[in-house]
Amino acid sequence: MASIKDVAKRANVSTATVSRVLRNAGNVTEETKQRVLEAIEALNYQPNVLGRYLRRMETETVLVVVPDITNPFFSKVLRGIEAVALEHGYQVLLGDTQNDAQLEEQYLNVLPQRQVDGMIFLTARIRKELMEEMARQFPIVLACEYLEGTDIPTVSIDNISSARKATEHLIHLGHRRIAHLSGPMDVILGRDRLRGYYQALAQHGIDADPALVQEGDFSYESGYNMTLKLLALEEPPTAIFAANDEMAIGAIKAIRHRGGRVPDDVAVVGFDDIQMASIFEPAVTTIAQPTFEIGQKAMELLLQLIEGNEVSRRQLVLPDHLVIRESCGGKCSV
Amino acid sequence: MASIKDVAKRANVSTATVSRVLRNAGNVTEETKQRVLEAIEALNYQPNVLGRYLRRMETETVLVVVPDITNPFFSKVLRGIEAVALEHGYQVLLGDTQNDAQLEEQYLNVLPQRQVDGMIFLTARIRKELMEEMARQFPIVLACEYLEGTDIPTVSIDNISSARKATEHLIHLGHRRIAHLSGPMDVILGRDRLRGYYQALAQHGIDADPALVQEGDFSYESGYNMTLKLLALEEPPTAIFAANDEMAIGAIKAIRHRGGRVPDDVAVVGFDDIQMASIFEPAVTTIAQPTFEIGQKAMELLLQLIEGNEVSRRQLVLPDHLVIRESCGGKCSV
DNA sequence: CTCAAATATGTAATCGATTACATTACCATC
DNA sequence: GATGGTAATGTAATCGATTACATATTTGAG
């Protein structure tokens, strides 16, 4: 492999000049520039980026840590991140934690090792103190999730209010026995959506029945299994609010397998508005998050941090909205 | 940020010794080792990997180029790759080409820039000569797709025979007017599945009707739209073989929107066996690929190449199988 | 107790590009 | 044609870790 020295030798210039041509910086005569370009061409030279990285101490790469790469919701956020990254000449590295909090903490080490210039976490199971300490030293942005009581830059929706909105919709449709398939309680997102659910019940004077809240893990299977449990109750729910669409679809399937109809016997509402929510039959009523935009904003924020700019608006809350489809059985708007 | 020099100074040893402790190589007294570890601890030292990369000229990172990260099929292959990579201490970088052949060629440059030690392509739209030249110089593996007439290491299923198998299944169920929603003709996968479709027809003496073959792009939308076209034919098909599950689901939706029933009016078969194929109603009959295993094998192959081992079995064809569900309307086995 | 071998540690070159600083070449002005 | 300023190019240090080679220290055999 040809190195910058070989090019310099062949073009009869110093490595400094070659570097100047490469970076298109400094003053280089058109003539020498041509000579260098010819040498580059002739040797089929490609600059070794490792050398540059080391010297400049930046890699123009960011790492995105995703809890589950098979979840289409995250792929869409990722697309937003990629779009902005590409535009600014940054590469996107992807870390899949497979929902393992420990793996997540490991990814954090990539930063002090200087392997990437910054990180975006689409998950937040890391101990708060550790995360804060890192965020103080390195560019870190949280997206979708957040950590309570920190000022780590964050882009997300207001999960509590949207969960409330979803639950209220079911209440307005006349439901009183509303179950909730929650996300894992060790992620803030799961807790927030549960909180929104409770708030809606309380505001409408409905007593919360602990038996109607089941903790899942955002997977189709967990939605399916928990719904079977709910249906086995002496007094089963007439509506189910699932903390994401995959669990909602799992719920619908379970209801059907038990011979019930959706929405006639049990109404279902999901969360995220993944593509399948609109394709599935019945189409799933859900909360639509501005996924692409979340990704964009998160990457923009990260770029600010990397460039050392002072960021005034560190916490962004983007608008979401309820998309009413068939699975809830009513067009009543909130 | 503390560097290896700081650690060396604090522990009163040379950088060489610190490096030896870090890499756990060479002979170091237990006592000095402890001193070094203490210094590392005290300074909260993290080795800068860029220095190591440059010196060793390897990054222990591989790049996986994916045509579409939102496609769940690829996420599953990716999981297989990740599993093996992690096991061997390799990082996985992800490149999403968004189905853009040009972007794909750009990723190829990452290799001579020494940014990664090897690449796995889950897509193959690059000009054959270019790809071959690169593969001669650097570790490259193709998975799922392949290039005709090269000996670039490849892991995939036999798409022709499985497409034939799927089509034959429909023939055995009594269908004669069988349509095919193909993948893009500029990817070999699209062409192979089409070829298998033609072979099956020919073997059973059925004339191929060009009007029954529609070229899509593997997206749900294209499946939907092309099916509407097929249904508008004077003599519409009684069965549709789609080149992937997403198009198959698009087809089912289109048939339904036109008032048809699946499988009663039109039978549908897909390809890939993504999770939604089994969840959707009617559940989609499809070809199941050993996704995880494809990923594993591809990564194992790549590791062989990176380590410079001579690889005897360069082209792996893994077994797939037809999963018969509801959308084809028959349990007749092939 | 001596000497060779084995073990432990240090010195300094190296990876490839970038860049601060130094030097040379060129040009315009008086 | 001397002077000063600018433009073009070169020299060499630098980034941080690794490692070939050199040196110092310890160990064991006789």
As a whole number, mean pLDDT of residues B9-25 equals 92
Q: Does A53 contact B49 at a Cβ distance shorter than 8 Å?
A: no
Do B211 and B64 lie in a common domain? no
Contact residues, chain A, for B69 at CB < 8 Å: 75, 78-79
Residue of A nearest to B69 (CA): A75
CA distance B41 to A272: 43
Mean pLDDT of chain B: 94
pLDDT-based confidence at residue A259 (cuts at 50, 70, 90): very high
Distance of CA A179 to the CA centre of its chain: 26
Residue A330 has pLDDT above 80, yes or no: no
Do B178 and B112 lie in a common domain? no
pLDDT cut 90: percent of chain B above it: 83
Asked, as a colleague might, if the bond just before A263 is cis with ω within 30 of 0, I would say yes
Tokens of B96: 């999403």
Do A96 and A238 lie in a common domain? no
Most confident of A121-135, A221-235, B63-77: A221-235
Q: Which domain holds residue A301?
A: 59-157+290-318
Q: CA of B29 vs C1' of D21, distance in Å? A: 21
- B47 closest CA partner among A114, A54, A137: A114
Contact residues, chain A, for B1 at CB < 8 Å: 112, 114
Any domain includes B188: yes
Question: Which of the nucleotides in strand C have any atom less than 7 Å away from a protein CB atom?
Answer: 7-12, 14-20
Q: What CATH number corresponds to the domain at position B276? A: 3.40.50.2300
Residue appearing with tokens 């939604």: B276
As a whole number, mean pLDDT of residues B142-165 equals 95
Do A82 and A101 lie in a common domain? yes
Tokens of B304: 């062989």
As a whole number, mean pLDDT of residues A162-191 equals 96
Residues making up chain B, counted from first to last: 334
Question: B210-255: per-residue pLDDT in tens?
Answer: 999 999 999 999 999 999 999 999 999 999 999 999 999 999 999 9
As a whole number, mean pLDDT of residues A123-130 equals 91
The four Cα atoms A200, A203, A209, A214 give a dihedral, to 10 degrees, of 20
Any domain includes B306: yes
Q: CA of A304 vs C1' of C14, distance in Å? A: 36
Cα angle for residues B75, B81, B86 (degrees, 5° grid):
120
CA distance B208 to chain A (A): 31
pLDDT-based confidence at residue B150 (cuts at 50, 70, 90): very high
Any domain includes B332: no
Which residues on chain B place their C-beta less than 8 Å from a C-beta of chain A?
1, 46-51, 53-54, 57, 59, 69-70, 72, 75-76, 78-79, 82, 91-94, 96, 98, 109, 112-115, 220, 249, 253, 256, 275-276, 279-281
Contacts for A81 with CB less than 8 Å, ≥ 6 apart: A62, A64, A92, A120, A295, A296, A298, A299
* Number of Cβ pairs < 8 A linking chain A and chain B: 86
* pLDDT number for residue A26: 77
Residue of B nearest to A221 (CA): B279
CA distance B294 to chain A (A): 16
Any domain includes B54: no
Q: What CATH number corresponds to the domain at position A40? A: 1.10.260.40
CA distance B38 to B36: 5
Q: CA of A5 vs C1' of C16, distance in Å? A: 9
Residue B216, classified by CB atoms within 10 Å of its CB into exposed (0-12), middle (13-18) or buried (19+), is buried
Number of domains in chain A: 3
Residue B306 has pLDDT above 90, yes or no: yes
* pLDDT number for residue B333: 44
Question: A288-314: per-residue pLDDT in tens?
Answer: 999 999 999 999 999 999 998 888 889
As a whole number, mean pLDDT of residues B82-111 equals 90
- B46 closest CA partner among A58, A117, A113, A57: A113
In the chain, the amino acid numbered A146 is Y
Question: Which of the nucleotides in strand D have any atom less than 7 Å away from a protein CB atom?
Answer: 7-12, 14-20
Q: Of A46, A78, A256, which has the smallest distance from its Cβ to B69's Cβ?
A: A78
Do A202 and A281 lie in a common domain? yes
Residue of B nearest to A137 (CA): B1
Any domain includes B326: no
Contact A223, A242 (CB under 8 A): yes
* pLDDT number for residue B96: 87
Residue B70 has pLDDT above 70, yes or no: yes
Do A141 and A169 lie in a common domain? no
Q: Which nucleotide is nearest to B55 (CA to C1')?
A: C15
Residue B334 has pLDDT above 60, yes or no: no
* pLDDT number for residue B25: 80
Q: CA of A20 vs C1' of C24, distance in Å? A: 18
Do B152 and B295 lie in a common domain? yes
pLDDT-based confidence at residue A334 (cuts at 50, 70, 90): very low
CA closest to C1' of C15 belongs to B55
CA distance A93 to chain B (A): 5
Do B176 and B258 lie in a common domain? yes
Residue B71 has pLDDT above 90, yes or no: no
- B176 closest CA partner among B189, B185, B167: B167
The footprint of strand C (CB < 7 Å) covers A 1, 3-5, 15-16, 18-20, 22-23, 25, 45, 47-48, 50-52, 54-56; B 12-17, 20, 26-29, 31-33, 51, 54-55, 57
Do B200 and B285 lie in a common domain? yes
Do A180 and A139 lie in a common domain? no
CA distance B3 to B22: 13
Q: Does B276 contact A281 at a Cβ distance shorter than 8 Å?
A: no
Any domain includes A105: yes
Do A141 and A89 lie in a common domain? yes
Do A151 and A295 lie in a common domain? yes
Any domain includes A122: yes
Any domain includes A330: no
pLDDT cut 70: percent of chain A above it: 99
* pLDDT number for residue A331: 64
Count of CA atoms in the C-beta half-sphere (13 A) of A304: 15
- B231 closest CA partner among B179, B184, B171, B193: B179
CA distance A241 to A236: 14
